[in-house]
Structure 1
């Protein structure tokens, strides 16, 4: 099986996680960000992630891929209950965090930006929706303060370092990608339980953090 992804993409991280958690072999294919032809050929639109199954058929939508792989062997792993407080926390932080992340993603050394054209494509597409990256960078300190405040709230919700609610659940699939994205940002203060959870999930899912290219 092949999984077509962008390395910076949190939706792609969701799909990647289940392969690591269940030790299912997967070939990762990082698409250039301006490559519209490949995803359109596979699934009919420019979207990621895309899973190509053994028979050559393809499926998109990160949570559909997670469900498919988790149930493929008849022994699902993500059987824990979800916590509405985690959903509320994610909804809140997702309301502003891209304003902090997008300008950093645009300059980071991700494989999907291996050509100047691919990087320019990303910047122009995202600025059209989020606004000028230069202007967003001017507000970075305020966004980081908000993140630090929100991480302290999250710290109180984490039950175990290997599963936010105590048993593996979809909340883990939705939460870890946000924390992984935040590892791209310098200056964030991680409370103890958040840091332990983030680091544990990175090992468990075999998805690297972005601390080495943080800015």
Structure 2
């Protein structure tokens, strides 16, 4: 199996966490963000993650995770994707993600993930949608306020996992979308959420920058 991914991308992190939870071996290929040729060649669109499983190419994160589940005896409780809790979580992550991305993008761009050409491509593309990165950095207090309001809703749902006493696919969806905040230097998660994220890390054998420490 081969995974094409970006380090910072939460949808890619979803798949990496699932692979770790299922204890599946795979080849990791971190693409430069300005590499359009590889994803277009594989799927006719520039969208990651892309996973090759038994010769089949897939690039929807949940479809990939469902396919991976067939290769493991461990139960990620994928039936949760058919519940109202999943629909509510997706709406929550949409709201939460706006602030997370506005806060983290200026820092992601200067991580080791990006070579100069990819960094320029990333900044230009994301600035066209969100505005200049220096403006995002200047407005960080506004985004932090929005993040804190949304995260304030979370502790009551951790039982100790998301609306459950068992670890499920919903925990991977949630953790992958807020993990990026660890790169933001002034931010510290509330203790309960930090403990939750570290438990998810343990259960999924997840190492955010693993590819760069080999």
Q: Under TM normalisation by the shorter chain, which class is it? A: 0.7 to 0.9
Moved over 6 A (4+): none
Question: How far apart are the structure 2 equivalents of 1:95 and 1:33?
Answer: 20
Look up the match of 1:20.
20
Q: What displacement does 1:164 show? A: 5.3
For residues 179 and 185 of structure 2, the distance between their equivalents in structure 1, rounded to whole angstroms, comes to 13
* CA-CA distance at 1:88 after TM superposition: 4.0
Aligned ranges 1:182-201 → 2 under 5 Å: 182-201=181-200
Q: 1:53 to 1:209 in 2, by over 3 A?
A: closer
Superposition pairs for residues 1-150 of structure 1, below 5 Å? 1-54=1-54, 56-73=55-72, 76-79=75-78, 81=80, 83=85, 85-110=88-113, 113=114, 115-150=115-150
User: Is contact 1:52–1:59 with CA below 8 Å preserved after alignment?
Assistant: yes
Unpaired runs of at least 5, structure 2: 210-214
String of CA shifts for 1:91-147, please: whole Å, max 9, x gaps.
Answer: 32124332212212112222xx1x211111111111111111111110112222332
Deviation per residue, 1:12-39 (Å, 9 max, x gap): 0111111101101111110111111111
Q: Deviation at 1:75?
A: 5.7
Deviation at 1:67, TM superposition (A): 0.9
CA contact (8 A) 1:144 1:187 kept: no
1:203 aligns with 2:212: no
TM-score (norm 1): 0.86
Q: Distance in 1 between matches of 2:186 and 2:130?
A: 22
Shift of 1:158: 0.6
Asked if the contact 2:76–2:169 (Cα under 8 Å) also holds between the matched residues in 1, the reply is: no
Please name the residue that 2:177 is paired with.
178
Seen in structure 2, the aligned counterparts of structure 1 residues 52 and 88 have a Cα distance that, compared at 3 Å, is closer
Give the count of matched residue pairs.
Answer: 205
